[in-house]
């Protein structure tokens, strides 16, 4: 009986240690992660990442209201892509700039520069459109 308990305890500790050392990425509330490396992700604010090059597909959507009587105006993006090289046990967070109006959001989508924090250290990155991603892939060949 004691041997079973010790084995289960050791196994639990190993699982906890393993998951604590994996990389993950979290997203701003107005960003939806659509897929990671082509695998569809639904309704997750945090996604585990494996080491190596990752291709993360996100989309942006937010509702803006100009005044209290306004029913609102949705601003939505086409798919946007982040190429990310995961090397170790980093924790990533993708954050948006402050967008106060639908016009701000539309301007942002023309040049989607976001803040990517790696273990708390922010850096500006630009997401790729589908055509930019295809161009990048074709140039690599």
Predicted pLDDT at 16? 42
pLDDT in tens, 62-107: 999 877 677 788 999 999 999 999 988 999 999 999 999 999 999 9
In a domain, residue 13? The reply is: no
- What CA–CA distance (Å, rounded) separates 11 from 9? 5
73 within a domain of the structure (yes/no):
yes
Structural domain includes residue 55: yes
Per-residue confidence (pLDDT) for residue 2, from 0 to 100: 55
In a domain, 5, yes or no: no
pLDDT tens per residue across span 24-63: 999 999 999 999 999 999 888 899 999 999 999 999 999 9
Residue 92 forms part of a structural domain: yes
What's the total number of domains in the chain?
1
Q: What is the DSSP string of 82-111?
A: EEEEE-SS-EEEEEPPP--SHHHHHHHHHS
d(CA 7, CA 110): 56
User: Do residues 38 and 21 touch, judged by C-beta distance below 8 A?
Assistant: no
Domain residues for 94?
23-140
The token duo for 66 is 């100009």
pTM, 2 dp:
0.79
């Amino acid at each position: 009986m004691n041997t079973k308990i010790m084995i289960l305890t050791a196994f639990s500790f190993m699982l906890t240690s393993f998951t604590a050392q994996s990389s993950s990425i979290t997203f701003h509330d107005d960003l939806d992660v659509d897929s990671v490396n082509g695998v569809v992700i639904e309704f997750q604010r945090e996604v585990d990442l494996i080491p190596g090059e990752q291709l993360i597909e996100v989309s942006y959507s937010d509702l803006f209201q100009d005044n209290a009587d306004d029913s609102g105006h949705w601003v939505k993006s086409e798919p946007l892509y982040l190429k990310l090289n995961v090397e170790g046990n980093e924790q990533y967070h993708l954050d948006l700039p402050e967008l106060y109006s639908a016009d701000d959001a539309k301007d942002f989508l023309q040049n989607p520069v976001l803040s990517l924090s790696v273990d708390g250290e922010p850096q500006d990155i630009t997401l790729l459109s589908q055509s930019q991603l295809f161009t990048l892939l074709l140039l690599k060949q």
